[in-house]
Amino acid sequence: MDSIYDRRSIRKYLPQMPEKALIDEIIRAGIAAPSAKNRQPWRFVVFTEQAKTELLREMEKGLRRELEGEALLPEVRGGLADAFHTMQIMHKAPVLILVLNPDAGSPFDAQNPTARFAEIADTLSIGAAVENMLLKAAALGLGSLWIANTCFAYPELTAYLRTDAQLVCAVSLGYPDEAPAARPRKSPGDVTEYRS
């Protein structure tokens, strides 16, 4: 329970590689999450060392294409600088876990409302799993970062993975080399309305 309040997004990591047993424990925590219809719509691909470097080479190709070539997300081009920064963090983090939904397709494909509702439920389930993973990482003394900036390199990353599954997000892991203060939060009163 303390991890709920003590966890921070960690963007600086020590080079030391966490033991595989810790990564396995973090994934077990993810799998313990609730999921819509118990579909457990998550797959995890763990990248370290050379495999991570190769993956990030593909991410860089995608970010450069968005910046200099055919942008698939032109409305959010302003977010590209942040995405390049996130990629540098991913280079320094010893472990990178890509999180996939095997039951959903590319977000660039058209979708009917039934499929969209199913995808929303699956994405919520995946969010619960990822939060469990971040909390378990914090409890084990590891730092983590939840990453959605993979979206800018969506075609490059999924082609590299050779998957039709939906790439939902990534999580970087490693021993923290910073201890950031809590970022501001809205108060319960700002975001809650009681009706009776």
Ligand X SMILES: Cc1cc2nc3c(=O)[nH]c(=O)nc-3n(C[C@H](O)[C@H](O)[C@H](O)COP(=O)(O)O)c2cc1C
- Residues in the site for ligand X, rule: CB under 6 A? 8-9, 11, 86, 145-149, 169, 183
Q: CA 145: distance to chain centroid?
A: 7
Of 4 and 24, the one with the shorter C-beta distance to ligand X is: 4
Q: ∠147-151-152 over CA atoms, to 5°?
A: 115
Of 40 and 149, the one with the shorter C-beta distance to ligand X is: 149
Q: How far apart are CA 193 and CA 195, in angstroms?
A: 7
Write the DSSP assignment of 116-160 as a string of letters.
HHHHHHHHHHHHHHHHHHHHHHHHTT-EEEEE-GGGGGHHHHHHH
Question: Closest separation between CB of residue 175 and ligand X, Å?
Answer: 17
Of 26 and 145, the one with the shorter C-beta distance to ligand X is: 145
Antiparallel, parallel or unpaired: β 95-101 and 43-48: antiparallel
Of 183 and 195, the one with the shorter C-beta distance to ligand X is: 183
Question: Closest separation between CB of residue 195 and ligand X, Å?
Answer: 28
Question: Closest separation between CB of residue 32 and ligand X, Å?
Answer: 19
Question: Closest separation between CB of residue 21 and ligand X, Å?
Answer: 25
Query: CA quadruple 103, 174, 53, 56: dihedral positive or negative?
Result: positive
